[in-house]
């Protein structure tokens, strides 16, 4: 008797359970086509961002190299200027040592102010 009630229930359960389980699984789990459709644009977008980042990195590396070259040229230029100024300073010291002494340079006379009208610096209230 137990056997007669169990077997029909098992058959009904399998007949209903398998299709329902397949339907629920299909609805709940995303399909691989949908996943590849959404993944492909995202992968392309990330690839473009990576390429842009690499191009930016290369441009910045070129700028750093140009800056180093310019800094080296400026350093050489300032070194040359320093050498020239020291040479000029040495020449001036040699001239001062060979000259008899400081000479007084006469100062020009200051101009006499002329008054032609009211003083523009004064304001009347």
Q: What is the DSSP letter of 118?
A: S
Instruction: Between 28 and 110, name the one with better pLDDT.
Output: 28
* The CA-based dihedral angle spanning residues 118, 119, 122, 125, taken in that order and rounded to the nearest 10 degrees: 0
pLDDT attached to residue 34: 58
pLDDT (tens digit per residue) in 67-124: 999 999 999 999 999 999 999 999 999 998 887 655 566 677 777 666 666 666 666 5
In a domain, 34, yes or no: no
In a domain, 76, yes or no: yes
Structure tokens at 77: 């230029």
Terminal CA-to-CA distance of the chain, rounded, Å?
128
In a domain, 79, yes or no: yes
Q: How far is CA 39 from the centre of its chain?
A: 31
In a domain, 12, yes or no: no
Look up the pTM and report it.
0.42
pLDDT attached to residue 42: 86
- Domain containing 78: what range? 62-95
Three-state SS sequence of 93-116: HHHHHHCCCCCCCCCCCCCCCCCC
């Amino acid at each position: 008797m137990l056997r007669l009630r169990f077997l029909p229930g098992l058959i009904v359960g399998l007949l209903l359970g398998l299709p329902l389980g397949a339907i629920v699984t299909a609805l709940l789990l995303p399909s691989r086509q949908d996943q590849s459709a959404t993944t492909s644009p995202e992968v392309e977008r990330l690839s473009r961002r990576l390429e842009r980042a690499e191009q930016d990195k290369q441009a910045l590396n070129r700028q750093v190299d140009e800056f180093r070259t310019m800094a080296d040229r400026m350093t050489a230029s300032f070194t040359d200027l320093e050498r020239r100024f020291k040479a000029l300073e040495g020449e001036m010291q040699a001239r001062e040592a060979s000259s008899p002494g400081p000479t007084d340079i006469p100062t020009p006379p200051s101009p006499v102010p002329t008054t032609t009208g009211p003083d523009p610096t004064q304001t009347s209230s």
